[in-house]
Amino acid sequence: MRLDLAGKAVLITGAGSGIGLACARAFLAEGARVGMVDRVAPPLLPGEVVVARADVTDETEVAEAVRVVAESFGGLDVVVGCAGVSGPVGRALADTSAADFAAVLAVNVTGQFLVAKHARPWLGRGSAMVFLASDSAFVAAPGMVPYCASKGAVVSLTRALSVEFDDVRVNCVCPSVVDTPMARGDLGDVLDDPAFPVQAADDVAQHVLYLASARSRTVDGQAVLADFGMSARSGFPA
């Protein structure tokens, strides 16, 4: 399928590693121009790349990073919000502080809000935003309350922005467990269990490419769930 992304100006948050880095590589492979935004310097990639450092919880830094990338490219065609944290994993609610909860929402939700707010003036008709949510917006595991709440909020934010922006499509991808440094730090060797379905960061990047392209022009305000069909299975032992 031709995605016709060559020459498109793309801004990606969380581009230093994991899914964000996979998205940067995938867009560059399509011939796009990519602005890589992260708190730390991302790896050097071949192609037309602009790097800007920002903590997505800091509005001043986000605004400046967006400005640097957008002015370098003369505007933006695509914004991809990949910056995210897992927060406390496997911790009971009674042991989770309000500060822990707020820290997860600050990155996973407020960070998406801020990049949308400051990128919006640089986006023209036919442009697209794609956020990274999670299957945890729809299903839950014990000890994941902050993360699940944050990803559910991203799904609702996606829908709200798709209505707010009449000329920019806004969608999100909701993958199940992805083999990234963050996931390995949380789950360890579980990711290597053949019985445990795990996807690669590039699998997610391919969904992002489609949602960013004109091939998905009729898709707006949607949460694309990519979980190997696990959420469709009944929990009954029948």
Q: Which residues are catalytic?
A: 134, 147, 151
State the angle between helix axes of 201-212 and 18-29 in degrees (0 to 180), rounded to the nearest 10.
Answer: 50
**Which of 131, 130, 123 is closest to 168 using CA atoms?**
123
For Cα atoms 221, 126, 58, give the angle at the middle one, nearest 5 degrees: 65
CA neighbours within 13 Å on the CB side: how many for 116?
27
Adjacent-strand bridge partners of 47: none
For Cα atoms 76, 24, 67, give the angle at the middle one, nearest 5 degrees: 35
String of DSSP letters for 191-221 = GG-TTS--EEHHHHHHHHHHHHSGGGTT--S
Beta-carbon contacts of residue 54 (< 8 Å; ≥ 6 apart):
13, 37, 38, 39, 61, 62, 64, 65
State the angle between helix axes of 145-164 and 98-105 in degrees (0 to 180), rounded to the nearest 10.
Answer: 40
Q: Is 135 helix (H, G, I), strand (E, B) or coil?
A: helix
